[in-house]
Amino acid sequence: MTPSEIDGKYIAGFRTHLSDRLSPGSISQYLRSLRSLLNSYLGPEYRPAIKEAFAGIGSKNESDTRHITPADFRKIKDTTALSTYPALEKARRIFILSTLLGGIDIEELPAALSAIETNGRSTLRTGVSISVPSQALSVIRHFKEEFGVSISQCLSTLADDSYPKCLDAIGATLSLRHPLLPKSSADVWVALARTDGVPATVIASAVNNSDVAILRYSEADESISADDIQEVYYAVADTIESSTNHWYGARCFTTAPSEIKERLLYAKTKLGIEPDDVYIPFSGDSAVTEGCDKVMQPMLFFRATATRARDIKRHLGSHAYVYSYRTGEKSPAIISDTEMMTFMLLARVGADTIKLYFPKAGDNPPGLEINDTVIITDGNFSGHVGIIEKAGSDSFRVIVRITGISAVVTAEVPKKFLRGVGDNA
């Protein structure tokens, strides 16, 4: 090879050669090293040509302001620190949805949501139509349930700079190492796809944002089928879901919950459980009385990924029963954060009124179809939705269902603190 052959086309080919073997950061490092070597070997007279050939390759001193890693994304996805800041929490959900949809630009999201609402499909920037992963549909559904407005309605009321400002605030709140920007979702999606072993050419054909680093050295390949692209979206969504921490419930039999907790923490290296990931309901303020107050029920809750939860279920064996959706199923049943927070609140402020009902093996949860659904409007449990179980002279016993463990929590609530929901209003 002669110096005259070193041009932009040669460098682009070298990039493509590296792209199926290395991460974007490593590719940039290789190219910077090659540029430095050529400058030293060929001398000053070739530097203008080398500079032109390596156009777009930054200095090692330049910061990558969009370098949000999968670990950063997990931090964004799992945080509960934004629950008291509705604007930031909404922005967090939108960012997660953008990531699940291939890093779609926020300006393209309303049109995509309209199509998803119509047929559950989304058309990518390349024109390929995909079936939207169930994880994305779940984000859309839960957003409306929790905030009372759809994501489309939320986006229509946002000022142009509101979303970027909210993301910046989220990054600062979570102490991320790099600024969180709208297009960080595309970088994260690419990084997750690479983690799953997807070739660079397939990622370039599937990513749903044209302003992403991988497109600088790898182009979309028209020969890659729509089915292959669809599988990438499913794989990335599954990776996101499998790395998400959820709450799970376990009923302790011959071993006390506190001993089960110690057993989990002792196997911390294997199971990845931290003290804050385990919750034992006590009849009183557990932060003060744990260890001396009576456990309300032989229950223990833990927070883990789906994979870790299966490991914990096997680790506990006969010492505790980790609840599953169906008898004999290996996958533990997820308790939603909303239900878990409701239970923890009730356990803290109303321990003397709480009672858990457990079905026998193979039974369904207690039948509640004939009872009214109500929202509690005042008192310690204000804002929670439940079902009336029993009427007293001046109060109702109200049930709050915890689906993941097939159990219910009940509390005595004055009649004046209740209002019907839906058909009962």
Class of domain 353-424: mainly beta
- Report the CATH superfamily, name and number, of domain 246-334: NusG, N-terminal domain (3.30.70.940)
The chain-wide mean pLDDT, for the chain, equals 75
The DSSP result for 318-368, as a single string, is GGEEE-BSSTT-SSBPPBPHHHHHHHHHHHHH-GGG--B--PPTTPPSPP-
- Between 65 and 242, whose confidence is greater? 242
* Dihedral class, residue 255 (left if φ above 0, else alpha if ψ from -120 to 50, else beta): beta
Q: Give the pLDDT confidence score for residue 42 in this predicted structure.
A: 76
pLDDT of residue 411 exceeding 90: no
SS3 content of the chain, % helix, strand, coil (to 5): 50, 15, 35
Pairing of strands 395-402, 121-123: unpaired
297 versus 343: the higher-pLDDT residue is 343
DSSP 8-state code for residue 299:
E
Residue 232 has what pLDDT?
94
Residue of 36, 91, 79, 76 lying closest to 60 (CA atoms): 36
Burial label for 304, CB within 10 Å (0-12, 13-18, 19+), is: buried
For residue 361, what pLDDT is reported? 39
- Residue of 397, 297, 279 whose CA lies nearest to 344: 279
Q: What is the pTM of this model?
A: 0.54
